Amino acid sequence: MESIDADAAWTAFDARDRAADGRFVVGVRTTGIYCRPSCPARRPRRENVDFYRDGTEAAAAGLRACRRCLPDAVARDGVAIAAAVAILDAGETPGLAALAAQVGYAPHHFQRLFTRAMGISPAAYARARRATRAADALTEETTVTDAIYEAGYAAPSRFYEEAVPRLGMSPSAWVRGGTGETIRWASVPTSLGPLLVAATAKGLCRVSFDEDEAALRRRFPNAAIEPGGNDLAGLVAQVVAEIETPVGAALPLDVRGTAFQEKVWQALRRIPAGQTMSYAEIAAAIGSPAATRAVGSACGANAVAVAIPCHRALRSDGTLGGFAYGLERKRALLDREEAGLVREI
């Protein structure tokens, strides 16, 4: 279990930072209680405060839970949120009142809990999941209308309002298996191994090490796959430059994910070259402090290595964690970015 940075914990506690709730509890020796970081009670002196990983650890030290902020309810909140996510992932679309009742909370209270943990409201999460189901249905159904109702939309107007902006290509193109989409690609050598770069007219859709045209066709089985020419050469050069002498260039992208994945990817792109963040810090930055594991999963779903710099995400203890193309490459990318930062200084 990761250690607690006492200075950072005190800063969060002093600021009543709700994003820190669930990450640690605050023990107050003078009162014999432990609290959430966001507890509204008056702040004690710094020298009278200790930090614990959770209520169990604080209770073992002889402290009791604060009756005002109910720190042990954080774990119960997490269970309820996980249950709600499972309901929405399964394709059910209950209203807020029904969803909250199913997990044992009052509607407005649960709305705040869910939004704080996931970064979006239950309704927004349900819309994102429904749009994902629509994309899947469009590849399986024979008509757009069939796909709309299979995905759970009550009317076509809602589908065109919610899902179409997320699809990238037109619904009819999805039904035809991606017909009409053109992806240009190139395979180039780099000092970290062969690199595949593929892009639509909008931007990069695949950047990966050790893959070839066959792998690209498996990923996009019904698109028109063509070798890139001069129109792709400039973009390929920019990607290679981010591997050899990285500066953190903002490359054009054509990638789509769930609402949560896209928030994680945006957060990754905001990390400057030469710097890193832990999965927990990224989760907190996007307003979902309890979603550390989900952040790791979003990093794993990244289709454009380097362009979305998931290599800048580390475990909370500072170790590298996972990387689809090997930890040696992850370390090399980080070392090169750090070296570039030193050169700039």
Residue type, 199: A
Q: Which two tokens stand for residue 2?
A: 């990761």
- From residue 278, how far is each of 82, 179, 281 by CA, in Å? 22, 40, 5
**CA–CA separation, 39 vs 102, rounded Å?**
27
> If DSSP codes are grouped into helix, strand and coil, which group holds residue 37?
coil
- Other CB atoms within a 10 A radius of the CB of residue 155 amount to 10
Catalytic residue among 35, 69, 205, 299: 35
In the block, tokens 């996510």 appear at 85
Closest CA to 279 of 323, 303, 314: 314
Cβ atoms 181, 256 nearer than 8 A = no
39 is catalytic: no
**CA–CA separation, 104 vs 85, rounded Å?**
14
**CA–CA separation, 10 vs 199, rounded Å?**
46
Which DSSP symbol is given to 286? T
66 is catalytic: no
Catalytic residue among 39, 66, 205, 310: 310
- Other CB atoms within a 10 A radius of the CB of residue 247 amount to 13
Active-site residues, by number, are: 35, 310
